[in-house]
């Protein structure tokens, strides 16, 4: 398949290209588009055939459900049963990097939801995504536009490397601002009322969610390795994710001790290091990737996936990164890094 790559810098003046993209989607094709989190691999969310094509292009198991993207939060009710708590979440965080799992309506095929009776809904905050969704008269189902198992793409070059020849069109909208996938919550109910289960942490933090809903429960698979045979609440958590080919090891310890360990490692063997800006003067420059300052979690999130891809292209035998704290955006960084490292943490 020939993949057309178009660059869109202004979604208003580039309206013709967006119409072409919408026509491809309407005809059952696949279009990759930028969002504020990562690039999405889009297909018509109401079409079983399009969902099947997405799974095939990505090499993703078809029981791992897709997120449907809408241009306005109120659209959710067409495809799902959205209630009061959804409306409050939408008022606080949409458009934005939040995905909400709701009971699905019949119009959404089981192929899109991986066989589940629930559907994941998100309204992205990105001018190109918004303009594209607005000209589509259907929701766009889109998982991250990477090959299954590799880091999510945060710029068009990552998408081209993974999906060229597998999709009809790639819209290059520059770098994704956030760089980590959306926060996913599920609305649940028990005898005490409604509450949220956090299935995947992202830029909408645990603390921000608790401002809208008092009870937020963090799903076990967010921080821990699943036990053998255990089924996660979010099927995506079952799979090894974001894994570089070179083994990644996370370092946990006092900052001075970790730095001393890294200096010793650099002297002894070929390693790539995702280090804080403050550490550069103490380390040799080969295969060093500056992720931002120690406290700048937004830059660390923005650079993580790109650097995992870059580090993987080096001749290093091992990749080291710091184990993040679990506060604020750190929880999302922690969740992605422990999965990329297959839970390999070295205590220093
Ligand atoms: P991706 O699109 O690659 O960011 O992955 C989407 C994530 O959303 C996967 O981890 C899915 O397991 C999760 N997801 C999508 N729909 C549902 C659903 N109905 N219930 C639980 N998790 C879902
Ligand atoms: Mg993904």
pLDDT digit string, tens, across residues 116-166: 999 999 999 999 999 999 999 999 999 999 998 789 999 999 999 999 999
- Locate the ligand 1 atom nearest the alpha carbon of residue 116 and give its number: 19
Coil, strand or helix at 239: coil
Peptide bond into 214 cis (omega under 30): no
- Locate the ligand 1 atom nearest the alpha carbon of residue 64 and give its number: 12
H or E, element range at 80: none
- Locate the ligand 1 atom nearest the alpha carbon of residue 40 and give its number: 2
Best substitution site from 65, 121, 196, 238 to test ligand 1's pocket, by max atoms within 8 Å of Cβ? Answer: 65
Q: 326-329 contacts: CB < 8 A, separation 24 or more?
A: 326/223, 328/205, 328/207, 328/297, 329/180, 329/203, 329/205, 329/297, 329/298, 329/301
H or E, element range at 152: none
Cα distance between residue 9 and residue 244, in whole Å: 31
Residue 39 CA: distances (Å) to CA of 127, 183, 211: 13, 15, 28
CB of residue 113 inside a 6 A radius of ligand 1 = yes
- Locate the ligand 1 atom nearest the alpha carbon of residue 146 and give its number: 3
The C-alpha angle with vertex 128 and arms to 126 and 130, in degrees rounded to 5, equals: 65
CB of residue 11 inside a 6 A radius of ligand 1 = no
DSSP 165: T
Residue with CA nearest ligand 1 atom 11: 236
CB of residue 298 inside a 6 A radius of ligand 1 = no
Q: How far from the centroid of its chain's Cα atoms is residue 52's Cα?
A: 20
Residue 11 CA: distances (Å) to CA of 129, 132, 133, 244: 9, 8, 12, 34
- The per-residue pLDDT for 13 is 67
Phi-psi region of 200 (alpha: psi -120 to 50; beta: other; left: phi over 0): beta
- The per-residue pLDDT for 215 is 96
Cβ distance 199 to 120 under 8 Å?
Answer: no
**Which of the four pLDDT bands, split at 50, 70 and 90, describes residue 228?**
low
CA of 258 to the centre of ligand 2 (A): 31
Best substitution site from 55, 66, 226, 305 to test ligand 1's pocket, by max atoms within 8 Å of Cβ? Answer: 66
Tokens of 112: 């899109």
At residue 336, φ and ψ (nearest 5 deg) are -70, -40
Question: How much of the chain exceeds pLDDT 90, in percent?
Answer: 85
Residue with CA nearest ligand 1 atom 2: 143
* Residue 240 predicted with pLDDT over 60: no
* Residue 238 predicted with pLDDT over 60: no
- Locate the ligand 1 atom nearest the alpha carbon of residue 233 and give its number: 21
- The per-residue pLDDT for 64 is 85
Q: Which residue has the higher pLDDT, 51 or 230?
A: 51
**Which of the four pLDDT bands, split at 50, 70 and 90, describes residue 239?**
low
Cα distance between residue 94 and residue 97, in whole Å: 8
Is residue 154 classed exposed, middle or buried when 0-12, 13-18 and 19+ CB atoms within 10 A define those classes? Answer: buried
CA of 143 to the centre of ligand 2 (A): 6
**Which of the four pLDDT bands, split at 50, 70 and 90, describes residue 10?**
confident
**Which of the four pLDDT bands, split at 50, 70 and 90, describes residue 62?**
confident
Low-confidence winner among 11-25, 95-109, 313-327 (lowest mean pLDDT): 11-25
Tokens of 104: 């699905």
Please identify which residue in the block is written with the tokens 């921080």.
223
- The per-residue pLDDT for 342 is 87
């Amino acid at each position: 398949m020939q993949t057309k790559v178009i660059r869109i810098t202004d979604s208003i003046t580039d309206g013709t290209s967006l119409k072409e993209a919408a026509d491809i989607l309407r005809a059952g094709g696949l279009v990759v588009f930028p969002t504020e989190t990562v690039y999405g691999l889009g297909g018509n969310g109401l079409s079983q055939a399009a969902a099947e094509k997405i799974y095939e292009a990505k090499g993703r198991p078809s029981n791992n459900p897709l997120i449907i993207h809408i241009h306005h939060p109120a659209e959710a009710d067409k495809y799902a049963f959205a209630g009061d708590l959804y409306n409050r979440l939408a008022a606080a965080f949409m458009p934005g990097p939040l995905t909400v799992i709701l009971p699905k309506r019949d119009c959404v095929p089981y192929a899109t939801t991986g066989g589940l009776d629930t559907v994941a809904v998100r309204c992205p905050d990105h001018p190109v995504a918004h303009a594209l969704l607005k000209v589509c008269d259907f929701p766009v189902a889109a998982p991250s536009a990477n090959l299954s198992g590799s880091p999510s793409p945060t710029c068009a070059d990552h998408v081209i490397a993974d999906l060229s020849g597998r999709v009809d069109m790639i819209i290059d909208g520059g770098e994704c601002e956030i760089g980590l996938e959306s926060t996913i919550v599920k609305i649940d109910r028990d005898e005490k009322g409604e509450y949220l289960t956090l299935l995947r942490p992202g830029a909408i933090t645990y603390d921000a969610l608790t401002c809208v809903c008092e009870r937020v429960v963090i799903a076990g698979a967010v921080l821990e390795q699943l036990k053998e045979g255990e089924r996660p609440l979010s099927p995506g958590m079952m799979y090894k994710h974001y894994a570089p080919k070179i083994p990644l090891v996370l370092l946990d310890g006092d900052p001075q001790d970790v730095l001393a360990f890294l200096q010793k490692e650099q002297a002894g063997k070929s390693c790539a290091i995702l280090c804080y800006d403050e550490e550069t003067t103490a380390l040799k420059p080969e295969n060093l990737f500056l992720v931002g300052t120690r406290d700048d979690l937004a830059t660390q999130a923005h650079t993580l996936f790109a650097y995992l891809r870059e580090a993987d292209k080096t001749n290093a035998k091992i990749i080291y990164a710091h184990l993040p704290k679990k506060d604020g955006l750190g929880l999302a960084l922690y969740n992605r890094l422990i999965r990329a490292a297959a839970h390999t943490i070295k205590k220093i």
